[in-house]
Amino acid sequence: MSVVTEPGTETGPAAGAAPAVRPDAGRTAPARHPLLAVAGRVLATAATAATVFVIATFATFALGAASGSNPAAVALGEVATQADIDRLNHVFGLDRPFLVRYFDWLGSALTGDLGTSWFTTIPVSTSIAQAFPVSLSIATGATLCALVGGSALGILAAVNRGGILDRVVTVLSSIATTVPAFVVAIALILLFGHAIPLFPVAGYVPPTKDVGAWLTCLVLPSVALSLDAGADIARQLRTSLVGALTENYVIGARVHGLSPARIVFRHALPNATAPALSALGVHVPRLVGGAVITEVIFGMPGLGRLANTSALQGDVPVVQGVLLVAIAVVVVSGVVINLAIRRSTGTGRNAA
């Protein structure tokens, strides 16, 4: 399932999409063998994820079809005659019914064939294979920044609840949600391009060439992209950790004489991670989508830039291919995050 319970908006028992699946799993689980229950849950998650994937890719494919763009117009421009259009439409199989084309496209996409570009006739999968590592590096870097920075600030704020540090974190996180990624990116370029030339402000170096250069060129885009998600994680973690720290078992641990660090990290934190994880889950589609702007600003040849230029050219197969990959990334990371949340709430129940 791609979407995890959105923090903040879901105050009641109706946590958006989740309850529609969970009650069934919950009802049948105790009666069955534990392994069967796990298998059932995995199957249910996979079925949901697959449904979401099919609907989302269908929307993408329909969009391409609705654009009215055709290979002759893209490749030949204004001089294309009706005969050219018909001929190329036939070559690319566009004279077949819409649903046939969709399932054909989806079927070959699952085997790694995404068709060829109308503009360059390069296979779409080749272009994507070149651009994907760039985007994956930025998105992973941003996720790491958001997780590490957000958790550190959230924990600091929760431990110093009501103190100056807590207020500083609250103010910082509300500023970070307001400032868009491209403004942060420009500020970073100004700071590091002119004042402190510590990190490169443009370009991408693949890790196969130079790992050090690869890491440094990722720093600024990752930071720029991570602020929004990091702020949300910090806020969610602070709230849930403050709640966990007032529970009886924490007081018990304190009475036992455990060190504050052990109480926070071993006892309270594992029970407080679920909301922060769902915040991350909500942000994954935004991280994947927001990478476009970061890529353009920092001059990185990633998926976002590929989609941007192809969309402006009307090169439908490339656009559809990029979106399919992006949707797959979002759906898969949604499943992973949901499993992580289930694990963390599971341990929470055991500990409490």
Partner 1 sequence: MSRSDQSRSGAWTVRLALGLVAIVAVLAVAGPALAPYDPLAQDTALALHGSSPAHLLGTDYLGRDVLSRLLAGAPASLLSALAAALIGLLVGALPGALSAFLPRPAEWLALRVVDALLALPFILFAIVFAALLGNGLVQATTAIGLLIAPGFFRISRAATLRVRDAQYVEAATLLGASAWWVLGRHAWRQVAPTLVVAGISALGSALLAVASLTFLGIGVQPPAPTWGGMLASDLGYLAQRPEGPLAPALAIVLTVGALNLLADAVRDRTGAARVRHRAGANRKETADV
Rounded (to 5) percent helix, strand, coil in the chain: 75, 0, 25
Residue closer to partner 1 (CB basis): 155 or 253: 155
> How far is residue 130's CA from residue 204's CA, in Å, rounded to a whole number?
12
Of residues 203-262, which lie at the interface with partner 1 (CB under 8 A)? Answer: 235, 239
Residue closer to partner 1 (CB basis): 38 or 190: 190
Contact of 168 with 215, CB cutoff 8 Å: no
Range in contact with partner 1 (rule: CB under 8 A) among 28-36, 112-120, 308-316, 337-345 = 308-316
Range in contact with partner 1 (rule: CB under 8 A) among 26-34, 85-93, 291-299, 337-345 = 291-299
Contact status: 73 vs partner 1 (CB under 8 A): no
* Candidate list 99, 122, 183, 251; residue touching partner 1; CB under 8 A: 183
Minimum distance, C-beta of residue 264 to partner 1, in the bound complex (Å): 20
* One-letter identity of residue 30: P
Length of the chain: 352
Of residues 30-59, which lie at the interface with partner 1 (CB under 8 A)? Answer: 48, 51-56, 59
Residue closer to partner 1 (CB basis): 55 or 211: 55
Of residues 148-167, which lie at the interface with partner 1 (CB under 8 A)? Answer: 167
Note the Cα 164 to chain centre separation in Å. 33
Q: 101-113: buried (b, 16+ CB within 10 Å) or exposed (e) per residue?
A: bbeebeeebeeee
Of residues 317-346, which lie at the interface with partner 1 (CB under 8 A)? Answer: 319, 322-323, 326-327, 330-331, 334
From residue 156, give the alpha-carbon distance in Å to each of 65, 160, 270.
Answer: 51, 6, 16
Contact status: 75 vs partner 1 (CB under 8 A): no
* Candidate list 124, 280, 293, 300; residue touching partner 1; CB under 8 A: 293
Nearest one of 144, 146, 166, 163 to 155, comparing CA atoms: 166
> How far is residue 80's CA from residue 10's CA, in Å, rounded to a whole number?
53
Minimum distance, C-beta of residue 306 to partner 1, in the bound complex (Å): 10
